[in-house]
Amino acid sequence: MDIFEKIRKYENLHIVFWLMKDTCWMLELKWLGALMVVPTLALCVLIIYKTRALHEALINWAIFFWICANSFWMLMEFFGNPQYKYFAAIPFSLGFVFVILFYVKPLFKQDDQ
């Protein structure tokens, strides 16, 4: 069994928590939405850890920063600080950096061969 098959169950569960968090945001279930940030990020960190030696870890880091940004934005809206939601641009930007690395890094490896 390869690593991708081993982490598939974590990825699928991660999506469930992520959807629950965003559904709570949409329904304005503040405390449940805030609580759902914890398992969503925890599973993301676990997936990063399990893929740390692989190229795919870069895209998992991008997902981590995306969820951080998304969660920060949600929490700012929920708890009366919507003017700060624009700081979510920082982790969103970091996510883009990891996506760029994910796609650019293989180009340099091909040049080395």
User: For 21-76, what is each residue's pLDDT tens digit?
Assistant: 999 999 999 999 999 999 999 999 999 999 999 999 999 999 999 999 999 999 99
Amino acid at 4: F
Q: What is the mean pLDDT of residues 77-104?
A: 95
Q: What is the pTM of this model?
A: 0.88
In percent, how much of the chain has pLDDT > 90? 79
- Contacts from 13-22 at CB under 8 Å and sequence distance 24+? 13/43, 14/40, 14/43, 14/44, 14/47, 17/43, 18/67, 21/71, 21/74, 22/70, 22/74
